[in-house]
Amino acid sequence: MATFKIRATVAVDGSLIVAGLPFKSGEQVEITIKSLAVNQEERDRYPLRGKPYKYDLPFEGIALHEWGIQE
């Protein structure tokens, strides 16, 4: 199955026109429409998603003193 992906904007009247598809005339296709907008609830649920992160000492142990281990 060939997959074709394109981004488009829905018009004011709710219509969407997709032209120049790489399929033969009369060929049956499956259409799935997915919004690219992230809703506010999901953004609040994962506040660190998409934020940069940095490991200062990636090979050091974590909380060794809590296990009674001397560093």
DSSP of 1-28: -----------TTS-------SS-TT--
Residue 4 contacts residue 23 (beta carbons within 8 Å): yes
3-class DSSP state of 47: coil
What predicted TM-score, i.e. pTM, was given to this entire model?
0.43
Q: Which of 2-6, 16-20, 34-38 ranks highest by mean pLDDT?
A: 16-20
Round to whole Å and give the CA distance between 39 and 48. 15
What was the pLDDT predicted at 15? 93
Single-letter amino acid code for the residue at 65 = H
Single-letter amino acid code for the residue at 1 = M
Residue 21 contacts residue 4 (beta carbons within 8 Å): yes
Q: Convert the pLDDT of each residue in 50-60 to its tens digit.
A: 889 888 878 87
